[in-house]
């Protein structure tokens, strides 16, 4: 009986190992890493999880190497500055349960530097700079230097970005990432979340762009994260821009008869929105004068 149980345990262990190797994805995080996915598929959740875990791992390595670092600097007669060597976490969205610094324009424009091995989390990077900003040479140069040289001036740090699509981002980001993660969907369980996604190679000239030849679901790998990372951020944080607005609820009468018209006689459009803003600006200027 014991032999049968041992054999069954070995078979189960082999199956679990095979399943893990075959279907569970171990992400290869580069200095600039991008996460994409449709709305509410979990790209921000994955980005926050990766950023917090990478930061804590870098911090543990710092404390382990701390005595050797102090000894090396002492022998070299160099002054120790904790602000240089201790990794920090930077984010453009608020985080809880972890110490972090707000990501600012000064960091983006390299007016200040970040400590060695620091982690930067950039949520919705297309809001920072989208694909249409390429016409401004100064913006192009600043962003290209930030992303292209991020691994250098952070001394091996990590910048984790996310947005719904790659094409909507500024070319400087697209040129600086070698691969990205596409999150397909997620399933939340009591203590952990299972996500399905695929890691792709990306090149801005599309010469190395991987495309799906068959069914995408055949290529998907399993990713899993603890549910505690949901508590680290607000998945609706950008709702602050509309939370104070009045709610539009004005129901029309139901259409009951076949003879009632179903034609749309009102088109909602932003075609003249730019002209309207210009008129408002001109009116404000004239009032000030």
pLDDT tens figures, 5-57: 776 777 666 655 555 554 556 788 889 999 999 888 999 999 999 999 999 99
Lowest mean pLDDT among 34-38, 107-111, 122-126, 207-211: 207-211
Beta-carbon contacts of 209 under 8 Å, excluding residues fewer than 6 positions away, are: 200, 201, 202, 203
Q: Tell me the C-alpha distance between 11 and 17, whole Å.
A: 10
Higher-pLDDT residue of 94, 214? 94
CB-based contact 61:86 (threshold 8 Å): no
Q: Tell me the C-alpha distance between 124 and 166, whole Å.
A: 11
Angle at Cα 42 formed by Cα 40 and Cα 46, nearest 5°?
A: 155
Angle at Cα 73 formed by Cα 67 and Cα 75, nearest 5°?
A: 100
For residues 263-278, give the mean pLDDT: 78
pLDDT at 203: 67
For residues 55-83, give the mean pLDDT: 91
- Of 11-25, 211-225, 256-270, highest mean pLDDT: 256-270
Question: Would you say residue 186 has pLDDT above 50?
Answer: yes
Higher-pLDDT residue of 141, 77? 141
> Would you place residue 221 in the very low, low, confident or very high pLDDT band (cuts 50, 70, 90)?
confident
**Closest by CA position to 196, among listed 181, 213, 209:** 181
**Closest by CA position to 234, among listed 97, 89, 95:** 95
Q: What is the pTM of this model?
A: 0.81
Question: Would you say residue 205 has pLDDT above 60?
Answer: no
Question: Would you say residue 156 has pLDDT above 60?
Answer: yes
143 token code pair: 């962003």
> Would you place residue 145 in the very low, low, confident or very high pLDDT band (cuts 50, 70, 90)?
very high
For residues 164-170, give the mean pLDDT: 88
CB-based contact 103:118 (threshold 8 Å): no
Q: What is the largest CA-CA distance in the chain?
A: 96
For residues 68-75, give the mean pLDDT: 89
Lowest mean pLDDT among 20-24, 95-99, 162-166, 170-174: 20-24
For residues 126-134, give the mean pLDDT: 88
Q: Tell me the C-alpha distance between 101 and 167, whole Å.
A: 29
**Closest by CA position to 110, among listed 159, 175, 52, 180:** 159
Question: Would you say residue 207 has pLDDT above 50?
Answer: no
**Closest by CA position to 177, among listed 31, 54, 44, 28:** 31
User: How much is the mean pLDDT over the chain?
Assistant: 85
Q: Tell me the C-alpha distance between 220 and 222, whole Å.
A: 7
Contacts 24+ apart (CB under 8 A), 163-166: 163/34, 163/36, 163/43, 163/124, 163/125, 163/126, 164/36, 164/37, 164/38, 164/39, 164/43, 164/126, 165/36, 165/126, 166/34, 166/36, 166/202
Count Cβ atoms below 10 Å from residue 162 Cβ, excluding itself. 27
Question: Would you say residue 280 has pLDDT above 80?
Answer: no
pLDDT at 260: 77
78-94 residue pLDDT tens: 888 888 999 999 999 99
Lowest mean pLDDT among 77-86, 94-103, 111-120, 260-269: 260-269
CA atoms within 13 A on the CB side of 282: 6
Taken in order 270, 271, 272, 276, is the CA torsion positive or negative?
A: positive
pLDDT at 158: 96
> Would you place residue 216 in the very low, low, confident or very high pLDDT band (cuts 50, 70, 90)?
low
Angle at Cα 170 formed by Cα 49 and Cα 230, nearest 5°?
A: 15
Lowest mean pLDDT among 31-45, 46-60, 126-140, 194-208: 194-208
Q: Which fold has domain 23-234?
A: Rossmann fold (3.40.50)
């Amino acid at each position: 009986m014991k032999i049968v149980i041992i054999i069954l345990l070995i078979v189960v262990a082999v199956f679990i190992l095979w399943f893990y190797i075959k279907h569970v994805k171990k992400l290869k995080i580069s200095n600039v890493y991008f996460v994409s996915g449709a709305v509410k598929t979990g790209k921000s959740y994955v980005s926050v999880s990766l950023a917090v875990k990478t930061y804590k791992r870098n911090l543990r390595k710092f404390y382990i190497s701390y005595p050797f670092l102090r000894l090396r600097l002492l022998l070299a007669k160099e002054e120790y500055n904790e602000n240089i060597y201790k990794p920090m976490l930077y984010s453009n969205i608020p985080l809880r349960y972890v110490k972090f610094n707000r990501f600012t324009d000064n960091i983006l424009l390299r007016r200040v530097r970040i400590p060695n091995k620091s982690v930067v989390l950039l949520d919705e990077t297309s809001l920072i700079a989208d694909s249409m900003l390429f016409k401004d040479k100064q913006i192009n140069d600043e962003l290209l230097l930030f992303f292209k040289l991020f691994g250098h001036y952070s001394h091996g740090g990590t910048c984790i970005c996310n947005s719904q699509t790659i094409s909507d981002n500024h070319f400087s980001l697209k040129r600086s990432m070698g691969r990205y993660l596409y999150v397909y969907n997620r399933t939340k369980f009591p203590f952990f979340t299972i996500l399905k996604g695929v890691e792709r190679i990306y090149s801005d000239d599309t010469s190395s762009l991987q495309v799906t030849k068959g069914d995408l679901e055949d290529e998907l790998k399993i990713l899993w994260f603890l549910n505690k990372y949901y508590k680290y951020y607000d998945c609706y944080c950008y709702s602050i821009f509309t939370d104070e607005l009045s709610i539009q609820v004005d129901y029309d009468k139901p259409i009951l008869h076949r003879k009632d018209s179903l034609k749309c006689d009102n088109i909602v459009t932003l075609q003249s929105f730019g002209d309207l803003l210009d008129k408002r600006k001109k009116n404000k200027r004239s009032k000030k004068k």
